[in-house]
């Protein structure tokens, strides 16, 4: 899923979409999940639909994203600096 293959489209890859998600949250820090989804799909195209959830999950796993199920929003978390 993460490892690049010869015919992987980097723009719609998990890492490519992850970078866009971080970019959109950089200023506001918080966005409704449906709005974030629409923004990314609007920029990249329908092919973003397939990997959007994988990209969001990846950012959650590395501790950069938090999802508030009650409000259906995602929040950007600052990286922990040791």
**Which among 39, 2, 3, 42 is positioned nearest to 21, based on CA atoms?**
39
CA 78 to chain centre: 15
Q: Output the smallest distance, CB 5 to another protein, in A.
A: 4
Write out the binding residues for another protein, residues 15-74 only, by CB under 8 A. 47, 50-51
CB nearer to another protein: pick between 30 and 50: 50
Q: How many residues make contact with another protein (CB under 8 A)?
A: 12
Give the separation between CA 39 and CA 35, rounded to whole angstroms: 6
Residues in the site for another protein, rule: CB under 8 A? 3-9, 12-13, 47, 50-51
């Amino acid at each position: 899923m993460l490892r690049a293959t010869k015919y992987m489209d980097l723009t719609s890859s998990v890492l490519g979409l992850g970078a866009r998600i971080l970019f959109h949250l950089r200023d506001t820090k918080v966005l409704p999940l449906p709005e974030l989804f629409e923004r990314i799909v609007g920029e990249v195209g329908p092919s973003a639909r397939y990997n959007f959830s994988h990209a969001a999950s990846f950012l959650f796993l590395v501790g950069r994203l938090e999802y508030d199920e009650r409000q259906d929003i995602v929040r950007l978390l600052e990286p922990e600096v040791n």
